[in-house]
Chains A and B, each alone.
Chain A
Amino acid sequence: MTEQTTQKPQADKPASAPKKDTTALVRATLARRYAAEKRFRIYGIVAIAASLSFLAVLLVSIFIKGWPAFTHTFVKLNVTLDADTLDIGPNPSSAELRAANFASVIKKSMREKFPDVKKRKEKKALYSLISTGGEYQLHDMIKADPSLVGKTIDVWLPADDELAAVIKSGADLSKPENIVTRMNEQQLGFAKILKEAGDTKTGFNKTFFTAGDSREPEQAGIRAALVGSALTLLVTFLLSFPIAVAAAIYLEEFAPQNRWTDLVEVNINNLAAVPSIVFGLLGLAVFINYFHLPRSAPIVGGIVLSLMTLPTIIIASRAALKAVPPSIREAGRGLGASDQQVVWHHVLPLAMPGILTGTIIGLAQALGETAPLLMIGMVAFIVDIPGGFTDAATVLPVQVFLWADSPERGFVEKTSAAIMVLLAFLILMNAVAVLLRKKFERRW
């Protein structure tokens, strides 16, 4: 940088006034200015480091807690699928198969594995090592391949959540006194034998992604909530995006500036500040009690959430539209484009990145919202995967809430895992928005 030594003409000051040397004055303050700048930069870095470390702590703790939920422990059993034990005829119908006694098959094979177990209490302890999901697995296998009936096969059946937790934790089973578990000493003994014989393995927990909620932690899955969230958000997006963008365009580009539009504007801003539970009450009163829309359904959830999302998108869209330079509008009008053509051809493409950002912020809020959905009954225990907008459903944050509230230990990891799925959903949504934004920005 070059510094010029200029001495200002000081016509209106008495000649005796000391002449000021700009160079010297500036140089004297330079050190102080740079120090201030440096200090400010340090504050900034400290602030970013602090927020990043909070985020890291949060993510790492969720990750560590939730990770085991994505895997599950399976136990190898040698089961004999004979028709007598199953209590089915030669060509069983679906109903007959569903009523078949898979439990006794499993129990039998476990008794064979541990021939020394004789006492009733001991047997009960033994049987409880296998999840009831094992019965469903056998049912599905026979349904897929009926020729299995009568054969003896090796299968990997899901372990009970307590057993799975112990095996997954990698605890030393020869020192049962160090293990925190609800299993008794006897069960730990069985576990040790199974593990040492190589009859346990830990693998990917497919159930977590294919099943709905369940009372049994090892059978509970995120699928129903995930589909529920997707359906609900789809309704929210389809309703709020076009309405909000249209409202923003009208208010920003066409509406006359008068008291009426001011009133609308104030109310939109107020709407953005309304606590979300109020929207839930509104949804309950209007959509369910008055219009008799189904309870717990994504359609109602979506409508309620779009009420919440609307003001966010409108405000962001208006800001984005306002940021488009007026000279662009003049240029379009000067060429004879109608007001609407100006908006569609020039203003909207330039405002689109901002509008999309606002939409994603609104949808992300909606995705994480629980309170209004509790009001409209989306807090139900949903086992079946919702197949449409009117089926009973729940959403990811509500599922997190439900699992966090469950007493079984297995749900602790499920809760964290559900949070991870929720975060992944968010990241995916953001990624889509970033891609779309890039696409629009490339068109300048």
Chain B
Amino acid sequence: MNDSHQDVFDNIKGTVGDVTVDNPKMRLSNVDVFYGEKQAIFDVSLDIANNEVIAMIGPSGCGKSTFLRCLNRMNDTIPTCKVTGEMSLDGEDLYGPNLDTVLLRARVGMVFQKPNPFAKSIYDNVAYGPRIHGLASNRAELDEIVVGSLQKAGLYDEVKDRLDAPGTSLSGGQQQRLCIARTIAVSPEVILMDEPCSALDPIATAKIEELIDELRQNYAIAIVTHSMQQAARVSQRTAYFHLGKLVEVGSTNHIFTNPSHELTENYITGRFG
């Protein structure tokens, strides 16, 4: 069992497909991530293009969330976590002097795997980001941002009568949409979404996918998903992770119709994972 695991791991030699793009928004090269002694990401290089949705798929525990969290340096908040490699946003080093984490995270927003609304009202949840970054100069502008974000996240109609109810009083799926609204309220340039639809019903999922498609006009989006259909529907490129390595990356069309790597093929045809 362990041996075959090791064999599979050893047999992944580099990444199949072109990891670079012509107009990268973010560029990551040779990224390694360690949790203490344990390595979770092995030498992954990947570009994230402007105006594209890139889907990250792979079996549970393969390091998708960990990789995603490198993109806005969220891993820095875990004391045991160490990240090495070169990472840049618009050509600027993520760890350089011009990109403080506060600024970086305002530009690269994140929706977490588990909904985590603040212990504040629905309104304040969404208004929090714009408030701390000073995005609205008056109450009317702030209202506009909040309502607009809630509408885009497909939540407004359900909560418009109780904007001052606690965010935690919403259902799991509603909370997740609240977190999406909260993230887009800051108008980041890149949005990282870690399984944003795992707690949503098909209708809400469709709304979010619509939103993702719309956001793509202006932003770059990286989305982790366990749903092949979703990856196929929303993304232009797909990256397949396995055991902490990036096995294959390519256009979604290509990955889902004619994958080059055996592991990718096994995964998308449902032979494991």
Q: Is the CB of A337 within 8 A of B119?
A: no
* Cβ contacts under 8 Å, A444 to chain B: 119-120, 166, 168
Q: Is the CB of B102 within 8 A of A338?
A: yes
Query: Is chain B's binding surface mostly helix, strand, loop or mixed?
Result: helix
A256, B110: Cα distance in complex, Å: 26
* Cβ contacts under 8 Å, B106 to chain A: 335-336
Q: Is the CB of B116 within 8 A of A327?
A: yes
The answer to whether the Cβ of A328 comes within 8 Å of any Cβ in the partner chain is yes
* Cβ contacts under 8 Å, A329 to chain B: 77
* Cβ contacts under 8 Å, B103 to chain A: 336
The answer to whether the Cβ of A121 comes within 8 Å of any Cβ in the partner chain is no
The answer to whether the Cβ of A90 comes within 8 Å of any Cβ in the partner chain is no
Question: B161-189, CB under 8 A of A: which get 1 and which 0?
Answer: 00000101000000000010011001000
Q: Size of chain B's interface in residues, with CB distance under 8 A?
A: 29
Interface residues of A in 333-350 (CB under 8 A from B): 333-338, 341, 345-346, 349-350
Q: Is the CB of A350 within 8 A of B79?
A: no
**Residue of A with least CB distance to B125:** A331
**Residue of B with least CB distance to A350:** B119
Question: A30-70, CB under 8 A of B: which get 1 and which 0?
Answer: 00000000000000000000000000000000000000000
Instruction: Find A443's partner among B72, B105, B120, B182 (CB 8 Å cutoff).
Output: B120
The answer to whether the Cβ of B160 comes within 8 Å of any Cβ in the partner chain is no
Q: Is the CB of A332 within 8 A of B79?
A: no
Query: Is chain A's binding surface mostly helix, strand, loop or mixed?
Result: helix
Question: A320-334, CB under 8 A of B: which get 1 and which 0?
Answer: 000001011111111
Q: Is the CB of B132 within 8 A of A335?
A: yes
Instruction: Find B105's partner among A257, A336, A350 (CB 8 Å cutoff).
Output: A336
Closest beta carbon of chain B to A183's beta carbon, Å: 67
* Cβ contacts under 8 Å, B110 to chain A: 334
Which residues of B does A touch, CB under 8 Å? 72, 74, 77, 79, 101-106, 109-110, 112, 114, 116-120, 128-129, 132-133, 166, 168, 179, 182-183, 186
Give 8 new A-B contacts, CB below 8 A, not counting A334-B183, A335-B129, A444-B120. A327-B114, A332-B128, A333-B101, A334-B74, A334-B105, A345-B132, A346-B119, A350-B119
9 closest A-B pairs by CB: A336-B106, A327-B116, A336-B105, A444-B119, A334-B110, A331-B116, A335-B129, A444-B166, A336-B102
Which residues of A does B touch, CB under 8 Å? 256-257, 325, 327-338, 341, 345-346, 349-350, 443-444
